[in-house]
Amino acid sequence: MPVNPADSEVFGTLYGSDAMRAIFDDRAYLGRMLAVETALARVQARLGIIPTAAAERIAEAAASGPLETASLAASVRKVGYPVVGVVAALSARAGEAGAGEAGGWTHWGATTQDIMDTALVLMIRDGLRLIREEVAAILGALARQAEAHRQTVMAGRTHLQQALPITFGLKCAVWMQPFVAHLARLSELGPRVLCVQLGGAAGTLASLGAQGLAVMEGLAAELGLAAPAAPWHVTRDGFAEVLSVLGLISGSLAKIATDVALLAQSELAELSEPYVAGRGASSTMPQKRNPIASEYVLAAARMVQALVPVMMGAMAADHERATGPWQAELLALPQAFVLTHGALLHGRSIAEGLVVDPARMRRNLDESGGLILAEAVMMGLAPHLGRGEAHHVVARAASRAREEHLTLAQALAAEPAVTAHLDEAAIGRLTDPANYLGSASAFIDRVLAGARAMMKDTAGAAQKEATCQRETT
């Protein structure tokens, strides 16, 4: 088994996705480095810094196939970074292609971290696209659940105890709300994070003379990235922000997973994960249908959030090139992306296929014998008795209901302080859960409206981004 189960052929489907692993695997990283070197050569050729023929040969060499990883691994062990080996291999290819000294123009004016950082930004861009797609899908699925169950009354619980009636639609809207914010966060961080890196040896681009800024801006345009005000070799807040957002997304998924697992308990049985034969089965108990997707969401969320401090620590970069902190990013970022995407896929399957049992919700709600409506009765009596006295009277009735195994309505009917102001019909109205839902429906409408607006904006932004990437490819 690999050190990280998310990379395992056996366990990988539980902890991640092939699509996200493909974005961050070795060949993808090397391919992105070649793409950056190619783009750099093209920009410099247009600016007259290197010969056009050399840029063409570099591009052809980069496109001629994947680099040989064994020799690159040997170079990394020796040098400590992959770029020296990448540049050597690319230069050899460009020279061997028959253009004389073409390979000598490779990597002109750049430094190792320029290529590694920009390649990582390109992978992050692809990773964020997958994340955004799943966040939007979960938001859409929860919106459908919220609409379908806006009148499905259930017990709201505080401190794991029945508190007041709510609707399952409201619970779904509460689950939805942070995902609206997450789509906004994903859109907002793009301009701060998806920036080209080009600063040369110490962040001055002195090797390119007066054309350094033009090369940086040209490279950004060539790759469809933003051009920063200055190189960010030692200002790593952007990458830290990305992982923090992944931590927030994972946390919101964990909230849903926690609720689903609790409501799927045998004693409650109000919800269950989508049923697939054999999924969540026990090796010894044939009846079991464990909330397995929720369990892996919770596991992934804990790990992603544990990686956030790693990225925060990597921000303490010394001088103009750090001695260690930024290397830790590669330990955290790819892993966080894979785990978050895996959790999102589990979360999507839950949101889209959640099995809801409204009848069981109602039975559980009625189990209290109406005690869950104690606040409603108190508020109904308060105009007559004052809030404090109303609280005292209803608490006394609730205690009697528990001790004598009565319904709250029956206990209230035996209280002279209640019957002096409320007849049987009024007590019935106050102890009907459907009559004490407050602004639940209005809150659902507000969340749905925000979700629709955000998804519309996100779809437009994604289309614009895709068009930009096609134009720069």
What would you report as the CA-atom Rg of the chain, rounded to the nearest whole angstrom?
30
CA atoms within 13 A on the CB side of 402: 8
Residue with tokens 């949101």: 351
Assess contact for 342 and 257: CB atoms under 8 A.
no
Selection from 294, 307, 401, 391 nearest residue 348 by Cα: 294
- Side chain identity, residue 317: A
Say which residues have a Cβ less than 8 Å from residue 46's Cβ, sequence separation at least 6: 218
Q: Is 57 a catalytic residue?
A: no
Assess contact for 293 and 273: CB atoms under 8 A.
yes
DSSP state of 6: G
CA atoms within 13 A on the CB side of 187: 19
- Side chain identity, residue 92: A
Selection from 191, 224, 169, 205 nearest residue 358 by Cα: 169
Assess contact for 155 and 165: CB atoms under 8 A.
yes
Q: Catalytic pick from 282, 302, 363, 399?
A: 282
Beta strand 271-272 pairing with 355-356:
antiparallel
CA-to-CA distance for 25 and 28, rounded, in angstroms?
5
Q: Would you tell me how many other CB atoms lie within 10 Å of the CB of residue 328?
A: 16
CA-to-CA distance for 253 and 297, rounded, in angstroms?
7
Partnered with residue 271 across adjacent β-strands are 356
Q: What is the dihedral of CA 300, 254, 249, 311, to 10 degrees?
A: -50
CA-to-CA distance for 24 and 338, rounded, in angstroms?
9
Q: Catalytic pick from 129, 157, 192, 321?
A: 321
CA-to-CA distance for 339 and 299, rounded, in angstroms?
9
Say which residues have a Cβ less than 8 Å from residue 65's Cβ, sequence separation at least 6: none
Percent helix, strand and coil across the chain, each rounded to 5? 70, 5, 25
CA-to-CA distance for 294 and 259, rounded, in angstroms?
9
Instruction: Answer positive or negative: Cα dihedral of 256, 435, 372, 364.
Output: negative
Assess contact for 123 and 23: CB atoms under 8 A.
yes
Q: Is 192 a catalytic residue?
A: no
In a 10 Å sphere around its CB, with 0-12 CB exposed, 13-18 middle and 19+ buried, how is residue 404 labelled? exposed
Map residue 166 onto helix, strand or coil.
Answer: strand
Active-site annotation, residues = 282, 321
